[in-house]
A and B are shown apart, each in its own frame.
Chain A
Amino acid sequence: MNAPSLELIGFSKRFGGLAALDEVSVKIVPGAFHALLGENGAGKSTLVKCAMGYYAADAGEILLNGRQVVINHPKQAHELGLGMVYQHFTLVPNMTVLENFVLSRKHLPSVIDWTVERQRLKDFFDTTPFTVPLDLPVADLAAGQKQKAEILRQLYLKRTLLILDEPTSVLTPDEADEVLSTLKQMTRELVLTIVTITHKFREVNAFCDTVTVLRRGKLVGTRPVSELDNDTMAEMMVGRRETRATVEREQRAAGKTVLQIEGLSVANTVGQLAVDVLSLDIHAGEIVGVAGVSGNGQRELVETLAGQRHAEAGVMKVHGERYTATRPEMIRHRIACLPEEPLRNACVAEMSVAENMALRSFDQAPASPDGVRLRRAPMRDVARRLIEAYRVKTPGPDAPIKALSGGNVQRAVLARELSSEGDLLIVANPCFGLDFAAVAEIRARIVQARNRGAAVLLVSEDLDEILQLSDRIVVMFDGKLALQTQAAQADVGAIGRAMAGH
């Protein structure tokens, strides 16, 4: 009977020029299973991190059980009984579950009596709805068990208000149901109050009682789940949008097929299937926008196309020939790629702008007349031309590329990739973190490439960008294509639902 209430009043937070949170207020009643819904960058994580003391909010106050509290540090939040469970795991992988739990306790005896500790934890596990093996190293637990252990540890530390940050993104639907339904039971018994950040309507409908929707740092509204249907939620989440904006595009029919992906399966870093038997064709003169919440396999798809990750199964074909993302194939088929975080994924940070711009062509004439010697002068000439044409702001072609701003690194990589007039352009989150002018320019370049007949695969977490640029839109959810539609007939509501798994 100790589930607290929590009220966040007037929270604002700016990161540089960007208002991540703008006067957001939420009230969470005792025993609530409260969902925070919104797209990437809507401000959900920022809000809860301010509440937990990870960020200092620019404005805002917190009422816990109606009393004003000050939380400047996560420790203070923990002492008030607030706990957070993250998408990623925080347990120490090389220690057993038992050791992890005991270590996180406040007062440790100098010699630990493991029989007593084990018994104490076993007794505690008798009161919890699910358990995990005590003596396995956390590294050996499956993702679902790890997430359960994270939640159990919060309960073990007697936290009464849990904030879950996309807790089920690493779980299978069955595991998610098991974890969430037991938590639901505990909120019913008023043992716990839960705030959960999610994108999945299914979970909101099945487990949550109240939904707060954020969009671009602003509060859209807080409503009981019973009053909402999926269409309304999707509309609250993505808003009403103009589907066409200013980029000039030629009317042109899609040409012949350039990229064929057939039954592609790719594993992520921890070995789970991130791309799950995906098939997709892209034609010349067409931009195919891949929408979706991040973490649904987009990154792995792009990495496979760029040659950074190997496929578990399936075939990729370019111009009808099998494509395995080797350098000769990329040169022959004229494939260009602008991955996300280009400084990390497409550049050598310590090398100069000119050298980075030559990464695709340094072993061919004129930079290398015989494939052995390198000639700096032609490399610099090409770089100067590209810097001029793409208006890259740099002290000169010999400056290290890491000294450039994000937008200029993006421009430099785009210049390199588009200078070869590629047949296939793969672009991932090209405008992430860029200012207005840079965004418009980079989008225009992408459309230009399409207009001259390149096939473009555009992966973006920004739905506006997808709607603005694409000829055809697909939605990726859980490694599969959840929806395919022509952009002209796109129904934003349907896209929003597909992004949330409906």
Chain B
Amino acid sequence: MENGGLGLWGVPLAMLAGAIRVSTPFIFVSVGECLTERSGRINLGLEGTLVMGAMSAYAIALTTGSPWLGVLVAACVGLLLGALHAGICQLPRVNDIATGIGLMLLATGLAFFLGKPYIQPKAPNLGAIELGWWSGIPQVRQALQVNYLFVVGIVSAFALAWALKNTRWGLIVRLAGESVDAALAMGVPVGRVRLIATAIGGAFAGVGGAFLSLYYPGSWNEGLSSGQGLMAVALVIFARWDPIRCLWASLLFGAAGAISPALQSVGITEGYYLFSAAPYVLTLGLMIATCSPERALRGAPGELGAVR
């Protein structure tokens, strides 16, 4: 067995590697959705945006040979899809949730349709920073390969947390999400604020998709996302609408997702599928433990989920 040299140490190491690799799309989608939801809007369509971003990034990287141009185009596609969602939601008697699900199905379908020719060819991948240069053990070196986008994700989580607290723009986004009455009384154009916040949230999800197709797993196929976008939206609730906690939650989710392959790599193969469910069991458990029937979720933006 190739991990024999590491023994059981291989398990935490694989989980670390998983946290770094698997979590990146979660970070992008949840940080973006965090911004959107803080402005008082839910975008469930991010799953579709993620897939659409993955496809367009892969296609552009394949045709131009530049993976970073692919990332940029994925962000633009996300921006447009987000703006579309926000635009539709601003129409009278339109429901966030229904529109989000509709756009999710539309965008995934569109991505599968447009992405057919790109399933076989191999596009150039995004590079990674080798943080494991100091180690002689190949597994450690492999685990510490950190993609640039991972770093960008971490930085943007902190940047968003700072901006929400310390900038006029951040306060206005939060005001739009907390109380439409108060926002209108202060002359804040709630619709425009939400449009911008939703569009930016979509751009983040697009970049998350680019990571999927251009780095890990690093190819384009129809089963690429398998609900990661939806899961990231749930992470935002679990993280109580705080970008930094979104980051931690994403890392935790990535690590939990790596438990099963890590155990397999050290020879524990029993209950593979059971351990695959670890992230979901973890989420459910944490949700139940932190929920209260007596009061509303703390930190929930006041206007969120308001039925109009």
Contacts and interface: CB of A to CB of B under 8 A. Distances in A.
A103 B302 contact: no
Interface string A102-118: 11100011111010000
Contact of B174 (A95, A108, A112): A95
B168 A112 contact: yes
A110 B169 CA distance: 7
A103 B186 contact: yes
Contact of B302 (A94, A99, A110, A111): A94
Nearest to A94: B178
Interface of B: 166-169, 171, 174-175, 178-179, 181-182, 185-187, 299-302
Contact of B168 (A93, A104, A110, A114): A110
Interface of B is mostly: helix
A104 B186 contact: yes
Interface string A89-103: 010111100010011
A307 interface: no
B167 A92 contact: no
Nearest to B294: A271
A74 interface: yes
A139 to B, nearest CB: 8
B166 A92 contact: no
Interface of A: 74-75, 90, 92-95, 99, 102-104, 108-112, 114
A74 B185 contact: yes
Question: Could you say which of A95, A99, A103 has the most chain B C-beta atoms within 10 Å of its C-beta?
Answer: A103
B167 A111 contact: yes
A95 B300 CA distance: 11
A92 B182 contact: yes
B167 A110 contact: yes
B185 A103 contact: no
Contact of B178 (A75, A92, A110): A92
Contacts of A104: 186
Contact of A92 (B179, B299, B300): B179
Given A74-B185, A92-B302, A99 B168 contact: no
Interface of A is mostly: loop
Contacts of B166: 111-112, 114
B182 A90 contact: yes
Contacts of A112: 166-168, 171
Contacts of B179: 92
A257 B182 CA distance: 51
A103 B168 CA distance: 8
Given A99-B171, A108-B168, A111-B167, A93 B186 contact: no
Contacts of B182: 90, 92
B245 to A, nearest CB: 15
A110 B171 CA distance: 10
Task: Give the top 10 A-B pairs by smallest Cβ distance, nearest first.
Answer: A108-B168, A92-B178, A110-B168, A92-B179, A111-B167, A94-B178, A103-B171, A112-B166, A92-B182, A103-B175
Nearest to A139: B298
Contacts of A99: 171
A99 B301 CA distance: 15
18 contacts: A74-B185, A90-B181, A92-B174, A92-B178, A92-B182, A92-B302, A93-B178, A93-B302, A94-B174, A94-B302, A95-B174, A95-B178, A99-B171, A104-B186, A108-B171, A111-B167, A112-B167, A112-B168
Nearest to A140: B298
Contacts of A93: 178, 302
Given A94-B300, A94-B302, A111-B166, 5 more contacts: A90-B182, A94-B301, A95-B178, A103-B171, A111-B167
B175 A92 contact: yes
A94 B185 contact: no
Contacts of B301: 94
Contacts of A90: 181-182
Contacts of A103: 171, 175, 186
B217 to A, nearest CB: 39
B75 to A, nearest CB: 24
A49 to B, nearest CB: 14
Nearest to B185: A74
A108 B187 CA distance: 13
A172 B197 CA distance: 42
Nearest to B301: A94
A113 to B, nearest CB: 8
B301 to A, nearest CB: 7
